[in-house]
Amino acid sequence: MFIFAPILSISFTVAKAAGLQLGLQHVSYAWALGPILLWVLVAYVRRCLFSYKLEDATRDEATRQERLAALSSIRQRGVQIRNGEPGSQAELDAWEIEGDNWITEAYAVAGSVSATLRARLETLDEMGPVPDRVPEISPSQVHRTEVMSEMLRRIGAYLEKHQ
């Protein structure tokens, strides 16, 4: 497009000046400016769009850093919850509720950062081993700990890659 407009304009002017019989006898030289003006307009629009995109990127960088900080905070809280040691059935029930709330909150924060990250957290196709320091109390607690550990691993990998 960028090379076509000047070539068309110059060709039109040369053909008109040479008196070529291309049906251009009744066409004004002013029409030669059409392709050039179109070319300038397209260049101007592209420059404006680039400028807006650059401004958005600068503004979005601050937002991105805030969201990554929120994701890091969620990860820290998740580690504390996962490493908790419930001593009674009541504490285990409270720990499970807190873990479920953390998982839901982690999905939301991850979704605000990246739809792909959220999808990776929601669909755990594989789970690594639970750290040795985490106590095993009941089968449901072990499973929730495995899920949280894998989510924490994936969030940590994402943060390392994007910060």
Query: Model confidence over 74-122: pLDDT tens digits?
Result: 999 999 998 888 878 888 889 899 999 999 999 999 988 888 888 888 8
Domain count, the chain: 1
Q: List, for residues 54-82, the tens digit of each pLDDT value.
A: 666 656 777 888 888 999 999 999 999 98
CA distance 68 to 97: 25
Report how far apart the first and last C-alpha atoms of the chain are (Å, whole number): 39
Q: Kindly report, residue by residue over 3-48, the tens digit of the pLDDT.
A: 666 676 677 777 767 776 666 556 666 666 677 777 778 888 888 7
Model-level pTM? 0.61
Whole-number Å distance between alpha carbons of 23 and 121: 67
| Domain boundaries, position 63 | 4-162
CA-to-CA dists, residue 133 to 10, 79, 160, angstroms: 78, 12, 23
Closest CA to 71 of 131, 152, 127: 152
